[in-house]
Amino acid sequence: MGLFTEQGFKATTIRGIATAAGVSPGLVQHHFGTKEELRQACDEYVLGYMREQAGLGVTGRNLEKPEFIENVHRTAPPLMKYLGRALVDGSPGAAAMFAELVNVTEEHLAGDENPEADHRARAVVLTAMKLGITVLHEHVSRALGSDVYAAPAALRVGKAQLDLFRPEFLGRELFEQARKGLAKVEGER
């Protein structure tokens, strides 16, 4: 997954993967079959993880538990980077995930707004822009001078997003929650 993330699917070789894993190329083939099947396995792992964590966060009411947040912040970044690369690498699974995210966002938006607004377009643009930071994380990090997925830069990016967007679209209460969360993290540093 690391090599797919850094180099893309086509530029990554099975031999490179095997070397990085400290095994023989034949073993990779034995476990995953073809290179395309290996990509699918990676996709399923990442998308499964994200759906799982999202489920745990929302339905499990874990969003405020510090250990849950901490765990996500430690494990999620490489998977987010993988998703970002997969989105531009023509991965079918990533395309499906994008569509899912749009639908979730659209439902959220449709709740408290005038019915004539183009919620669909807003949801699409919102998720594309949110994922844009992930996809371009390398450039964002360079422009900021430090890794976006490390605490300091992530804080700056989060606050900047809160500043740039109209508060209505997060939902007033969610917006305030996010603001408090960021302030709390900032206080701990």
Partner DNA sequence: TGGCTTCCAATACAAGCGTATAAATCGTAG
Partner DNA sequence: CTACGATTTATACGCTTGTATTGGAAGCCA
Interacting residues toward its own copies by CB under 8 A: 7-8, 10-11, 84-85, 87-89, 95, 98-99, 102, 117-118, 120-122, 124-126, 128-133, 135-136, 139-140, 142-144, 156-157, 159-161, 163-166, 169
From the CB of residue 8, how many other CB atoms can be counted at a distance below 10 Å?
Answer: 14
51 binds DNA (CB under 7 A): no
Residue 157 Cβ vs its own copies, minimum distance, rounded to whole Å:
6
Residue 166 Cβ vs its own copies, minimum distance, rounded to whole Å:
5
Q: Name which of DNA, its own copies, none residue 108 binds, using a CB cut-off of 5 to 8 Å depending on partner kind.
A: none
Instruction: Classify 13 as helix, strand or coil.
Output: coil
Q: Name which of its own copies, DNA, none residue 65 binds, using a CB cut-off of 5 to 8 Å depending on partner kind.
A: none
* Residue nearer to DNA on the CB measure, 24 or 146: 24
Residue 132 Cβ vs its own copies, minimum distance, rounded to whole Å:
1
Residues in the chain: 189
90 binds DNA (CB under 7 A): no
From 63, 88, 70, select the one nearest 154 (Cα to Cα). 70
From 171, 17, 61, select the one nearest 108 (Cα to Cα). 171
> Contact letters (x/-) for DNA, 18-47, by CB under 7 A?
-----xxxxx-xxx--xxx-----------
Q: Name which of DNA, its own copies, none residue 165 binds, using a CB cut-off of 5 to 8 Å depending on partner kind.
A: its own copies
From 31, 30, 25, select the one nearest 13 (Cα to Cα). 25
Indicate the helix (H) or strand (E) that contains 14. helix 14-21
Q: Name which of DNA, its own copies, none residue 98 binds, using a CB cut-off of 5 to 8 Å depending on partner kind.
A: its own copies
Report how far apart, in Å, the C-alpha atoms of 96 and of each of 53, 90, 99, 155 are: 17, 11, 5, 29
Q: Name which of DNA, its own copies, none residue 169 binds, using a CB cut-off of 5 to 8 Å depending on partner kind.
A: its own copies
From 57, 174, 80, 90, select the one nearest 132 (Cα to Cα). 80
14 binds DNA (CB under 7 A): yes
From 62, 52, 128, select the one nearest 95 (Cα to Cα). 128
